[in-house]
Structure 1
Amino acid sequence: MSSPAVVPIWHPKLWAAHALGLACVVVATLLGLWQLDSWQHAREVEAMDLTSQAPVPLEDLLGSDDPFPGAVVGHPVDAAGVWVPEGTVYISGRESDGADGYWVVTPLAIDGSGDPAIPVVRGWVADPAEAPAAPTGPGEVTGWLQPAEGTGAVDEDRTDDVIPQLRVADVIQHVDQDLYSGYIVSEDPVGAPEPATLEQLPEAGTFTALRNLLYAIEWWIFGLFAVFIWWRYVRDVTHPEPDEEGEDRSVTDRSVGSPT
């Protein structure tokens, strides 16, 4: 039984395998580095405390059509416009001194009544039925800029003005204009019994930033798997094993064909 011929690793028939393997490794490495960078950036943003910075105009940090920039979470802003009282909603699950309550949120149309509006947390109430009437006409507010929430809470009753999270997709159902991708927590109560505070924000998901790190590891594992598949294929092609079964079968065929 003769051994099959050995194919050099740089034989042209292996060039496609080399190229595919290299491409998989490069793509997996770059995607892993991208996710790692996202994880590091999220940790840096979380460590920043911008709440004591001087207020700046809202337009300097966030445009009406812009995605929310993570680097400005908590930065104080000034905003002016026209109140949209019919868009008032109440965000449940907000505690104050151990008591359950609601955020009172009314959109403020920046620059005019028909322009895009940003939801403003005007204050805190123990019961929506006890909330004062929403303000009307021109208004100004100074407060902390926050990204729209995504706690995953489900609105069990869409017929009322109480919602479980301050999510743009929920608030926009109560207004007739576009909304900004974030909201403002007013430093001082605006027509509300008590001020809202950043301590009343829902806790951020523990694994929000960790998810990016796990994705990075997942991509690198995929790259290692691609290397393993490439190595197995190249090994099988360059060092094929003798086909013992085929050899045995040929011997059997010769025996059958020989005269008795």
Structure 2
Amino acid sequence: MARPHSTRLTVAALLLLGIAVVILVSLGQWQLRRSDERRAILAAIEAGRKQAPLVLTPATPSDTLNAWRVAQARGSWLPQFSVLLDNRNHDGRPGYWLATPLLLDTSSRQAVLVLRGWLPRVIQGQGDPALPATPAGELTITGELSERVPRMFELWSMGGHDQSSLPATLPVEGGRVPQVQNLPLDAYARATGLNLLPTVLSQTLAATQTAPSSLGAQPVQTAQGADDGLVRDWPQPSVDFQKNTSYAVQWFAFGLIAAIAWLVVLGGAIKRMRQRARAGSQT
């Protein structure tokens, strides 16, 4: 004979198993969406790197500034506008990314923001990090393009004031290099007064010194830039879509198990109902 509270337990079990099926299937679908997103990122990286190298000029069309495309820019550093991007780790070590604009054209103040590389954080109490020397004169910078400076989680103080906000005007009085969490191009352009290209160049090779050729035509390379001590091993986005697909299969398998359990519980409940109905008719 069934216990008096068995019906309530059966309903509760069916409800919980039904919720589990919905949640597990939703998790599987979410993993499939993540897999599609990573496939798209991988396709964008491969497409960008297959394109011919681009030479950045003030007249470069914006529709050619594709992410991950190799590009070169020729100009002069503006070290007074350098910014340190905080909380950028490398191999588990805390540090900064050094960002400096490269002036492409003096008359129009057209420039491109260059992520020059990573440098380690100094020990607390020992002051600001020592920045590498910024060579004067015209240089050629080689790197990969990105749509913006990769963002990090913003850190806010207990009082609600943003301790890592970009100063309204650069350079900062006293020559201090600002340290920020994130660096939106529009805010940086307002602070510096530069006309920035709508792209960021992540430097991959040491800068090369350039000078006009003897014929007055295209500038030519005259010397290889010295090692400035910056690390240019830039982080890459995760594109392991197979892992997400594997997780999706696991979630769907768990969902199938929960669905089978739901059917078993429902079948048992129907069987007990029929048994009680037969027992009632016999009496």
TM-score, normalised by the number of residues in structure 1: 0.51
- 1:58-69 to structure 2, matched below 5 A, reads 58-59=56-57, 62-63=60-61, 66=62
Gaps of at least 5 residues in structure 1 are: 1-39, 205-260
**Per-residue Cα deviation, 1:116-170 (whole angstroms, up to 9, x for no partner):** 1111111111135221233333221010001114637445234561111232134
Going from structure 1 to structure 2, the CA distance change for 1:140 and 1:161 (only over 3 Å counts) comes to same
What is aligned with 1:179? 196
**Per-residue Cα deviation, 1:69-94 (whole angstroms, up to 9, x for no partner):** 5xx21110011112211110111122
d(CA) in 1 for partners of 2:183, 2:64: 14
Aligned residues, how many?
A: 161
Going from structure 1 to structure 2, the CA distance change for 1:177 and 1:138 (only over 3 Å counts) comes to same
What one-letter code is carried by the residue in structure 1 that aligns with 2:202? V
Q: Does 1:144 align with 2:180?
A: no
What one-letter code is carried by the residue in structure 1 that aligns with 2:113? P
Shift of residue 54, structure 1, vs aligned partner = 4.7
What is aligned with 1:194? 230
Q: Does 1:121 align with 2:115?
A: yes
Going from structure 1 to structure 2, the CA distance change for 1:156 and 1:203 (only over 3 Å counts) comes to farther
d(CA) in 1 for partners of 2:42, 2:58: 21
Q: Tell me the secondary structure at the aligned position of residue 201 of structure 2.
A: strand
TM-score, normalised by the number of residues in structure 2: 0.47
d(CA) in 1 for partners of 2:133, 2:53: 27
What one-letter code is carried by the residue in structure 1 that aligns with 2:196? L
Q: Tell me the secondary structure at the aligned position of residue 115 of structure 2.
A: strand
Percent of aligned positions that are identical: 24
d(CA) in 1 for partners of 2:56, 2:41: 19
> Is the contact between residue 68 and residue 181 of structure 1 (CA under 8 Å) also seen in structure 2?
no
Going from structure 1 to structure 2, the CA distance change for 1:53 and 1:113 (only over 3 Å counts) comes to same
d(CA) in 2 for partners of 1:123, 1:151: 16
Q: Tell me the secondary structure at the aligned position of residue 129 of structure 2.
A: helix
> Is the contact between residue 49 and residue 68 of structure 2 (CA under 8 Å) also seen in structure 1?
yes
> Is the contact between residue 85 and residue 179 of structure 2 (CA under 8 Å) also seen in structure 1?
yes
> Which of 95, 106, 109 is residue 100 of structure 2 equivalent to?
106
- 1:177-256 to structure 2, matched below 5 A, reads 177-189=194-206, 192-199=228-235
What one-letter code is carried by the residue in structure 1 that aligns with 2:164? D
Which is greater in Rg? Answer: 1
What is aligned with 1:55? 53
> Is the contact between residue 58 and residue 110 of structure 2 (CA under 8 Å) also seen in structure 1?
no
Going from structure 1 to structure 2, the CA distance change for 1:133 and 1:175 (only over 3 Å counts) comes to farther
d(CA) in 2 for partners of 1:177, 1:60: 12
Shift of residue 196, structure 1, vs aligned partner = 2.2
> Is the contact between residue 102 and residue 125 of structure 1 (CA under 8 Å) also seen in structure 2?
yes
What one-letter code is carried by the residue in structure 2 that aligns with 1:121? L
